[in-house]
Structure 1
Amino acid sequence: MMLKRETVQLAYLYFIPKPHKAGTPLRPIVTPMNMPTTGISKFLDKLIQPIFDKHARSTTIIDGVDLIHRLEAYTTNGHLISKTYLCTFDITDLYAMLPQEESLDILIEFLLQYDYQKVQNIPIDIIRKLALIVIKENVFVYEKKFYRQVIGGAMGSAFTLTLANIFMWKWEKQLVHRLKLSNEIYGRYVDDIFFTSNDSLESIDQMLDEANNFHPNIKLVRQIGRSVPFLDVLIENRKGTLTISVYHKEAAEPYVVPFGSDHPGHVFRNTADTAITRAVRYSTTLSEFEEEIREMKLMFLYNEDHEYCSDHWNLSESQLKTRIDDQDDQIYSECKKRQQGKMQPETGKTKTSRSSTAKQPLT
């Protein structure tokens, strides 16, 4: 954690747009590369994160596969019925709205609850002092002016994520207790929460209204229904039958690393393997699986991987064109034009609608 004067730099603020959200809001990022507090932040993250992961596993969703396993167990145990609601909500600007002193108090509360007076021989009061430096001394430059963050933590600092998770551990306690009494699923991925409920819609709304008032800095944006997306999974309750498929955000373009680039070969293999594995894991029905495979083929063509399509699917460009339906012809033509540089990608291009034919179980 020792500083080197020749490498330390003042952090700067920049913004990344969120095209998948209404109005395209901006996500503020403070670059952490050579900040004076970067070493302390990384040290605390390595120290505290494993403890959080160990004790908060039951309420933490790791990825889409983890969520699917929970949903399958929920269904097997007979809890999914035709009236079951699927619910998601996300916390608005969690990193930027963390109350600093209160978050540090909750950090100590968390450690004490699990009997940590010391962590790797470091007393928890020293840990709090180090965390105070990280969160209070977040100084950065923006448009030739100097700023210090007085609410929240730097999005980009390693320890901010762990501190946010621990703050949410305290915030969600009432909600977790209530849902577990009813054998419902509750899981959180940082600031995105998924849960199930067999209560009425009015009761769910009332519960979330109450949760929205747990803390003045924490505000929720909710989605409730029989079909909801969470992470990269689209979850549907079809009259008591669980259906899973891959979820693609409406604003997402089919960009991956172009296959004509000079990246190492394993990058392209990993891209293909990941897409195929996800299609297999996330597809409950044969038609959903075939739809995802078709999306993948278009994505590979879009990114100039004709050889991969031919080698792995025995499908040439001309064969692909004849095998996709009339609605896909327009997308195929647009893909080809984009590859040839005749048109620019359109952000938020409407995706093809899924087939209305009857779903068949995937065997």
Structure 2
Amino acid sequence: MSDEANNFHSNIKLVRQIGRSVPFLDVLIENRKGTLTTSVYHKEAAEPYVVPFGPDHLDHVLRNTVDTAITRAVRYSTTLSEFEEEIRQMKLMFLYNGYPPRHIHRQLTTLFKTEIKNQHKDIYSKVENRLTGYPHLIPQSDAILKQYSDHLLDYLNQSYFTPLSYKDQLISREQAQILGSIRRIIQNMNLIIRVTDKANNFYIGSAGEFEQKARKFFSDTNAFTELSSNPFNEILNKVIQLLNTLRGKDLIRKWQYEQMMPDRTTDKILRPIFDAKCKDTTIIDGATLITELSKYNKKGLLKSTTLFCTFDIRNLYAMLPQEETLDILITFLHAHGYRKAKGINIDTIKKLASIILKDNAFAYGKKIYKQTTGGAMGSSLTLTSANLFMAKWQKNIVEEQTKTGEFYGRYIDDIFMTWNRSEEELRKFLDDVNTWHPNIKLDYKIGNSLPFLDVQLTNHNGILSTSVYHKSAAEPYVIPFTSDHPRHVFINIIQTCLARAVRYSSTFEAFNYERHYIKLMLLYNDYPSTFIENEFHKYFSEYISKSPFLPLIDEEQKYFRMRKEILGQPTPQQSKVAMSAALADIDNDPPDDDEKQQLNPDPKKSEENISNINQKFFTHLTCEKRFKTCKRDMHQVYHETFKDTPAMYTKLIFGNRIRRQTHNELIHKRPNKKLLQNTTIIKNKFEKQTMNQQQTTIIPEPPSTEYK
């Protein structure tokens, strides 16, 4: 054929090269026993020359030169050995052009090795910890663990060094350009971007305007004091000394001492007790409110003149009086008969809670502040403390509402109640409530139709009507279908939206409106229409029809039958709170010995021990759509390594770890390192100058106590 082509035109002559390995441009294409492989092609006459390293070129030019060579090696090398050979030649070329070894190594590490190293370390350490422990007891020096480590590393290298498809390259490049464009706009226009604490929306506004709002918040709450130095070391020492003292007096156990981060651990002790003892006036979610109001309606208390009232507390977290809140906490525990909670006595709990509420500092702008009133917004203990404080504050309102048979419920700082007297009396009552405590001020709304949380509640002449409520400022945004998330995340989003629509929509018309809203929202976020329809049909078919034909909800009777069934099921949040409440009275006064620290000394394998071999254990992978068969391949690596050992029967389950999200790339709230450093100014007697000397934190050793 090539000979014939040579005769097509007298001026056109071909130089042909035929074989199982031929170069084209800068890529070498080979046929190895029916397998197509590619690698970087270097012409024999080509000189090993790139932009030379030196001050004549900008840093980004030098970095881009190395990055381009590495990227080409990844794209063109279909096997790990070819990639490693290309990297070896590339290193020699850059060294020849004056590049320091550390410069080349840094670029390689940044692009590839760190991700692979972290993934390998995370997975292998979990497998090693599981198999070296009871009941497997495989020695850490056993060759089989080294074999698994090597196989795992080989697989991760092959996965990460496989070139991206052209489509994925275009998408990645486009997203990087969009991200860079947003960053430039934020910088050039002096904007600020944050994620709201409710609804997870983005707030974008003028940095100057944001600063004014922050100053107004500081002024209105009067809860923060500016500090002249960073108190981090002082607070850290105080926490450690308190834990050492408590352990030395045997007020906390060894396992509690070792695990205790005071904020999280203290809240885990208190939260179940609150969930159990205050459930009658607590609104867990919108579904809870609808259920309680339905009971109120069935009692015949909902009339055409019944008013709904909602009110929220201004800046509750920042306005909690610290000492009073601690006293309320202790009174609450005593009132419900608690001498200890999870083995820790009440006085110790107060000390732990006190250090969380009172020793709370933060950096804002270029200054450091200490919070003198309230607690940190992100602290789980602050949430529980606020709930306990409000439970005490609302006592008179609850008693008044109970006497008249009216409903009262609270979700943290948002309150909903019914009223069957005049609106004037209600306003007078609420104005009086506003004077009960100097730190607690409320803003209220009264009407026949009001939103609460994500529910719109309406009194239609004595008939309760509910529907999904969307704030006017809310964007129709969910995780985009193009995002690097596992597939079940997109399915869960659709199922959650549909479940909420069914629970909240008291009429077929309201449900159809919400169903159309969900479809439009999903389409707006790039969900394929076929995927949406399939998931809708799957969800509805579970409740309406058992036939193989996917049903549609086309009549009210079907809808109300489905709604009744769904309303009878607890929501995930209700199940979570119920499980928490069930732990309130468990293990509050356990025996003094540290049983949790003891290993099973019995070498004999009882039935229980044998069943332990079959236990599951979890590890996680960073989710990427290009790794479609990754979980299956990981299982294969594990099974091939341990196929002839008892470890074969231990089930390894891989979960998904999500990559850094967009707001993490755009929002940087961490202060400058210099601001976070603890510095002390020392004057030299002989030289009239000052110098900053870095303080060191001395962490005292725990007291030598014989653990019983």
Q: Please give the range of the TM-score, normalised by the shorter of the 2 chains.
A: 0.7 to 0.9
The alignment partner of 2:300 has SS state of: coil
Q: 2:435 aligns with which of 213, 217, 239?
A: 213
1:309 is matched with: 532
1:337 is matched with: none
2:294 is matched with: 72
Q: Distance in 1 between matches of 2:345 and 2:534?
A: 59
Task: Please list, as runs of the form range in 1=range in 2, the aligned pairs for 1:1-363 lying within 5 A after superposition.
Answer: 17=196, 36=236, 39-306=261-528, 307-312=530-535, 363=560
Q: Distance in 1 between matches of 2:349 and 2:365?
A: 34
Q: Distance in 2 between matches of 1:264 and 1:190?
A: 33
Aligned identity (percent) is 49
Q: Distance in 2 between matches of 1:248 and 1:15?
A: 21
1:310 shift after superposition: 4.4
Contact 2:409 2:416 in 1 (8 A): yes
Q: Distance in 2 between matches of 1:67 and 1:204?
A: 21
Q: Which runs of 5+ in 2 are unaligned?
A: 1-192, 204-208, 219-234, 240-259, 538-555, 561-708
Letter in 2 for 1:273: Q
1:235 shift after superposition: 0.3
Letter in 1 for 2:292: R
Deviations 1:260-291 (A, max 9, x none): 21201111011000011111111111111111
Q: Distance in 1 between matches of 2:194 and 2:532?
A: 37
1:39 shift after superposition: 1.2
1:309 shift after superposition: 3.1
Give the helix-richer structure, 1 or 2: 2
Q: Distance in 2 between matches of 1:235 and 1:187?
A: 14
The alignment partner of 1:228 has SS state of: strand
Letter in 2 for 1:276: L
Contact 1:19 1:251 in 2 (8 A): no
Q: Distance in 2 between matches of 1:15 and 1:109?
A: 39
Cα gap change, 1:105/1:313 in structure 2, threshold over 3 Å: closer, same or farther?
Answer: closer
Contact 2:491 2:535 in 1 (8 A): no
Q: Distance in 2 between matches of 1:88 and 1:238?
A: 18
**Over aligned residues, Cα RMSD in angstroms?**
2.5
The alignment partner of 1:222 has SS state of: strand
1:120 shift after superposition: 2.3
1:313 shift after superposition: 5.8
Q: Distance in 1 between matches of 2:365 and 2:291?
A: 47
The alignment partner of 1:284 has SS state of: coil
The alignment partner of 1:112 has SS state of: helix
Letter in 2 for 1:111: L
1:121 shift after superposition: 2.6
Q: Distance in 2 between matches of 1:203 and 1:39?
A: 48
1:308 shift after superposition: 2.1
The alignment partner of 1:116 has SS state of: coil
The alignment partner of 1:79 has SS state of: coil
Q: Which runs of 5+ in 1 are unaligned?
A: 1-13, 29-34, 315-359
Q: Distance in 2 between matches of 1:192 and 1:264?
A: 35
Q: Distance in 1 between matches of 2:194 and 2:405?
A: 41
Number of equivalenced pairs? 299
| The 10-residue stretch of structure 1 (147-156 or 120-129) with the greater mean CA deviation from structure 2 | 120-129
Q: Distance in 1 between matches of 2:412 and 2:524?
A: 32
The structure whose Rg is larger is 2
The alignment partner of 1:155 has SS state of: coil
Deviations 1:115-145 (A, max 9, x none): 1122123221111111111111101122232
Q: Distance in 2 between matches of 1:186 and 1:278?
A: 23
1:15 shift after superposition: 6.7
Deviations 1:59-78 (A, max 9, x none): 00001111110010000010
Cα gap change, 1:96/1:261 in structure 2, threshold over 3 Å: closer, same or farther?
Answer: same
Q: Distance in 1 between matches of 2:426 and 2:376?
A: 33
The alignment partner of 1:199 has SS state of: coil
The alignment partner of 1:298 has SS state of: helix
Q: Distance in 1 between matches of 2:504 and 2:384?
A: 29
Letter in 1 for 2:468: V
Q: Distance in 2 between matches of 1:223 and 1:78?
A: 24
1:357 is matched with: none
Q: Distance in 2 between matches of 1:268 and 1:104?
A: 43
The alignment partner of 2:261 has SS state of: helix
Q: Distance in 2 between matches of 1:252 and 1:156?
A: 22
Where relative contact order (Cα < 8 A, 6+ residues apart) is larger, the structure is: 1
The alignment partner of 2:497 has SS state of: helix
Contact 1:90 1:193 in 2 (8 A): yes
